[in-house]
Each structure stands twice: as structure tokens, then as C-alpha cells.
């Protein structure tokens, strides 16, 4: 339609004003969605590539949560085993003291029998510590236990946790000892020293494995946090900026509606051309 043509059939000004109203309403709706959800990318229609990347990161975050859960289970297993071994280590000191008492040639038969009874009870307590050192069905101290593997990353890599069944073996050897006389108590003293060396080795193993698990747990937490921060940079809305935009769009909509009203009233001015004298 040529510029400057006045028509009641086609109102170019109203069409342009309506286009502006629609565009502003779309922007206003999008901004309102960002403010209400906190996201600048809610779905693929907002930004297909960013949404696809975000979905991949969300999947990785869920995988990291699963890894953290597996590591937490492994940490529980080693902590229980370490607590049990520490308790056994403490108890070995009492057993060694009892054996030393049995080495006294001045003890009579009754005293030696009392010492033997105490000695046997302490050995029984060691076995109770071992049997109580299980977590989620896994006991690193029991006889015949195997090394455990725990998932350490989302690529499926694992960390090995060493079995320490030598604790049970040492307890079995001690259970076969006696302190009913000074001669057998002397043999028991050799066995208790061997047991203490075994327990020291196990404490070192469990302590090292526990540290490895803790380091990996911390690392997975840091990686997961970094992934979440990156995800936020992709999809999170800047609410301060969106708030300013929201106010601006609201003002623009009011002005565009007023402009549309003016444009719609323009054809009415043509009636003056046909007014009588």
C-alpha cells in the first residue's frame, strides 16, 4: 500500500503497533518465566544447544551422587573395621598384662587358674569385636573375606579396599594359648607379640585405605560442585537483570497498547472529510 494513502480497509499503523504489542508480550512472558522459575533455559525451545548440554550435566550430577553413595558405604565398612581393630589393639595390652602375670613363678595353682580364666575371657572378647565389625554385610576382619572394590568415579573406575582376615587368624592362634604355667605363658608371650605386630599392620592398612576413600570422596564432591556451578552458568537466570527487564517490558507494553489505540482511532478521522457544510 503506497505511503500516505488513507484507507478504512487497511490500517498500516495499527498492524505495526500490533506487531510491537505481540513482540513485547512474548518478551514479557519469557522474562516472567525466568523470574518465576529462576532459569533462563527451561526447555529446548529456549536454547536447544544449551538445554542439551545442561541435560548431559544433570545426568553426570546424578551419576556423581551414585558414586558418592558407593563411597559412603565403603567408608562405613572401613570405619567399622578400623574401630574393631583399634578395640582389639587396646585389648591386646590387657592380654599381654595378663600373660605377664602368668609368668610369675610365685603364683600358686589357684591363682594361675584364675589368670587362665581371665585370659580366655579376653580372647573371647577379641572374637566378639571381630564379629561385630561388619557394615552392610561386609566384614573386612573375618576369616576368608576378600578384598572389596568400591566405585570411585562415573567412568566406572574403582578403589580396592584390602581384606584383613589376618586379624581372625591371630585371634585363633591366641585362643590356642594358655597361661596355666610359667612355661606355657612364655609361649603365649611370643604369640601375643606376634599378634600385636599383625594388628599394627592391619591398622596401617585400614588407615591408608580410609584416607584413600576420604580423598576420593572429597574429590568427587569438588567435581560435582564444579559441575553444578557450570550448570548454573548455563541455565540459571540473572534475577537482578531479569527484574529490570520485567519492569521495562511492562512499561513498553503499556506504551505499545496506547500506540495501538491511537492507530486504531486513525480511520475515524476520515469521517471529517465527508462532513457536510
pLDDT at 5: 60
Dihedral sign of CA atoms 94, 97, 103, 106 in order: negative
pLDDT tens, 125-168? 999 999 999 999 999 999 999 999 999 999 999 999 999 999 99
200-224 pLDDT, tens digit per residue, is 999 999 999 999 999 999 999 999 9
Domain boundaries, the chain: 12-38+237-274, 69-235
Q: Is the pLDDT of residue 68 over 60?
A: yes
Mean pLDDT value of segment 102-113? 93
Q: Determine the CATH number of domain 69-235.
A: 1.20.1330.10
Task: Look at residue 142 in the predicted model and tell me its pLDDT.
Answer: 93
Which residues are bridge partners to 158 per DSSP?
Answer: 151
pLDDT at 15 over 80: yes
Give strand pairing partners of 160.
149
DSSP 148: E
Which pLDDT value is given to residue 47?
A: 87
For the chain, the residue count is 277
Alpha carbons 58 and 181: distance in angstroms, whole number: 69
Instruction: Give the global pTM.
Output: 0.76
Measured distance CA(222)–CA(67) in Å, rounded: 13
Amino acid at each position: 500500500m503506497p505511503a500516505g494513502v488513507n484507507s478504512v480497509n487497511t490500517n498500516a499503523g495499527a498492524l505495526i503497533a500490533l506487531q510491537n504489542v505481540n513482540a513485547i508480550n512474548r518478551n514479557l512472558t519469557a522474562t516472567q518465566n525466568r523470574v518465576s522459575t529462576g532459569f533462563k533455559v527451561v526447555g529446548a525451545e529456549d536454547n536447544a544447544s544449551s538445554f542439551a548440554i545442561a541435560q548431559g550435566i544433570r545426568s553426570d550430577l546424578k551419576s556423581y551422587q551414585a558414586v558418592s553413595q558407593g563411597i559412603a558405604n565403603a567408608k562405613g565398612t572401613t570405619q567399622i573395621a578400623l574401630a574393631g581393630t583399634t578395640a582389639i589393639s587396646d585389648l591386646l595390652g590387657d592380654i599381654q598384662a595378663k600373660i605377664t602375670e602368668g609368668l610369675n613363678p610365685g603364683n600358686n595353682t589357684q591363682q594361675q587358674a584364675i589368670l587362665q580364666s581371665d585370659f580366655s575371657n579376653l580372647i573371647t572378647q577379641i572374637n566378639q569385636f571381630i564379629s561385630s565389625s561388619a557394615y552392610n554385610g561386609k566384614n573386612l576382619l573375618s576369616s576368608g573375606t576378600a578384598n572389596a572394590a568400591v566405585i570411585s568415579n562415573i567412568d566406572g573406575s574403582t578403589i580396592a579396599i584390602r581384606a584383613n582376615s589376618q586379624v581372625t587368624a591371630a585371634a585363633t592362634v591366641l585362643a590356642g594359648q594358655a597361661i596355666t604355667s610359667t612355661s606355657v605363658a612364655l609361649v603365649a608371650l611370643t604369640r601375643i607379640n606376634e599378634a600385636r605386630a599383625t594388628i599394627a599392620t592391619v591398622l596401617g592398612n585400614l588407615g591408608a585405605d580410609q584416607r584413600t576413600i576420604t580423598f576420593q570422596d572429597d574429590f568427587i564432591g569438588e567435581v560435582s560442585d564444579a559441575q553444578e556451578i557450570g550448570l548454573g552458568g548455563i541455565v540459571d537466570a540473572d534475577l537482578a537483570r531479569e527484574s529490570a527487564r520485567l519492569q521495562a517490558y511492562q512499561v513498553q507494553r503499556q506504551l505499545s497498547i496506547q500506540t495501538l489505540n491511537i492507530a486504531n482511532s486513525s480511520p475515524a478521522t476520515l469521517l471529517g472529510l465527508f462532513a457536510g457544510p
